[in-house]
Amino acid sequence: MTSLLENECHAYIYAQALDNGGDSEYLWLSSNRKSTINIDFTDSKAVFVRDTIDAAYAETTPRRIGHSIFYQRRKNGNFIITVKPATLDVAGRISPVLLIFKNLSALQNLGGLAFAAIEHNLDRQLPDSAKHDLKKLVKILAKPAWMVRIFLYFNSYKVEND
């Protein structure tokens, strides 16, 4: 299924619906269009997103950047960034948003669009700390890949149970 992200100009966003009705929201981002497109739950892209998330949690430990951002990098190069917005679900719990990128290049190209889509497309409000951390991350993503890897290594730490 990795062929769904062969083109590094694509990324995905996943979030559970805030009404706790069991639904999920999937967005597909394309740097060619600079837009977001809703994905149906049964679409093969949505299946890929769920499989990627499951595999990432099975094989990697999340690393925290700042207060509300976590990232995981799989062995195959996929990046998953988890953002904890201030918007709570109907039960009053935090409902994280997951951003899935094929590789560092996709993260660099689509990071800003993905972060903007959290507020505009998913109606999640981000706390000031998350906005600060996201701005810092977007700024560092504009750097060459080797600098990004160094930044992520030295400016994050493992999170065991969060």
Rounded CA separation 68/8 (Å): 26
Kindly report the pTM of this predicted structure. 0.79
Please say whether the beta carbons of 17 and 24 come within 8 A. Answer: yes
Rounded CA separation 80/83 (Å): 10
Domain range summary for the chain, segments of one domain joined by + = 2-158
Six-digit token pair at 117?
């889509």
Written as one string, the DSSP assignment of 84-126 is --S-B-TTS-B--EEEEESSHHHHHHHHHHHHHHHHHTT--PP
The CB-based long-range contact list for 152-158 (8 Å cut-off, 24+ gap) reads 152/63, 152/65, 152/71, 152/73, 155/65, 156/63, 156/64, 156/65, 156/71, 157/63, 157/64, 158/61, 158/62, 158/63, 158/64
pLDDT of residue 54: 92
Rounded CA separation 155/52 (Å): 24
Residue with tokens 């998953």: 80
pLDDT tens for the 162 residues of the chain, in order: 334 444 446 888 899 888 877 788 888 887 776 667 888 888 888 898 999 999 988 988 888 888 888 888 888 878 888 888 888 888 888 888 998 887 777 777 777 778 788 888 888 888 888 888 877 777 777 788 788 778 877 877 777 655
